[in-house]
Amino acid sequence: MLSQRLRMARRAKGLTQEGLAEMVRTTKGTISNYENNHSSPPNDMLTMLADVLNVSTDWLLGRVDEPLPPSAANDHKRERTLDELLQEKIDDPDDYYFLDGYLEASEEEKKEIRRYWYDLKKQMKPHHVKESHSPSLYAITEEIKKIK
């Protein structure tokens, strides 16, 4: 429960793991460990996290189901920038390792990966597998390239 709510509250504030870590004087790895349920914060860290994220420690721990305070809820509803969407992909360990390998691949390997991905998506449709509505990593990076 803590890992999910910590990630949700951090994203609602528009913070990266690194940004949150700086605010509570720890490392990105520590925040990642909390969010991936590899470790739990000590009480003093839990209090700092709650204060920075404008939520209660009880909510972070799953003791209460009260929604986020109105200011945090409004932040969560705002439209995320392309950089924030890309950061969200990078913050996820599975996406990070995939992306890291993809970026190091040769152009031929990248084409093969994309071809395989498109084929896989085609196969999903006849089997009625629902796709996520979030933009693809490719779409995000292409939009960022257009802006820059």
Asked whether residue 74 falls in the same domain as residue 6, the answer is yes
Asked whether residue 62 falls in the same domain as residue 108, the answer is no
pLDDT at 134 over 70: no
- Write down which residue in 21, 43, 78 finishes a domain: 78
- % pLDDT > 70, the chain: 72
The residues, any chain, with a CB within 8 Å of residue 83's CB and separated by 6 or more, are: 144
pLDDT at position 67 is: 42
Per-residue model confidence as pLDDT tens digits over 25-76: 999 999 999 999 999 999 999 989 988 888 888 889 988 877 454 444 555 4
Asked whether residue 15 falls in the same domain as residue 69, the answer is yes
Per-residue model confidence as pLDDT tens digits over 70-93: 444 555 445 567 677 777 767 777
pTM: 0.47
Q: How many C-beta atoms surround the C-beta of residue 80 within 10 A? A: 14
Asked whether residue 58 falls in the same domain as residue 111, the answer is no
C-alpha 12/C-alpha 91 separation (Å) is 14
> Which residue do the tokens 């939520």 mark?
55
C-alpha 136/C-alpha 43 separation (Å) is 38
- Write down which residue in 25, 49, 78 finishes a domain: 78
Greatest alpha-carbon pair distance for the chain in Å reads 52
pLDDT at position 126 is: 62
Asked whether residue 25 falls in the same domain as residue 74, the answer is yes
Asked whether residue 69 falls in the same domain as residue 18, the answer is yes
pLDDT at 124 over 60: yes
What is the sign, positive or negative, of the torsion defined by CA atoms of 94, 99, 104, 105? positive
Helix (H) or strand (E) holding 75: helix 70-77
Quick one: which of 70, 62, 60 has its CA closest to 20? 60
Asked whether residue 58 falls in the same domain as residue 27, the answer is yes
Mean pLDDT of 102-120: 83
Asked whether residue 62 falls in the same domain as residue 116, the answer is no
The residue segments making up the domain with residue 139 are: 87-147
Asked whether residue 110 falls in the same domain as residue 62, the answer is no
What are the tokens at 54? Answer: 């404008």
What are the tokens at 34? Answer: 């909390």
Mean pLDDT of 8-37: 92
Instruction: Output the domain CATH number for residue 57.
Output: 1.10.260.40
Q: Which residue has better confidence, 119 or 128?
A: 119
- Write down which residue in 50, 78, 106 finishes a domain: 78
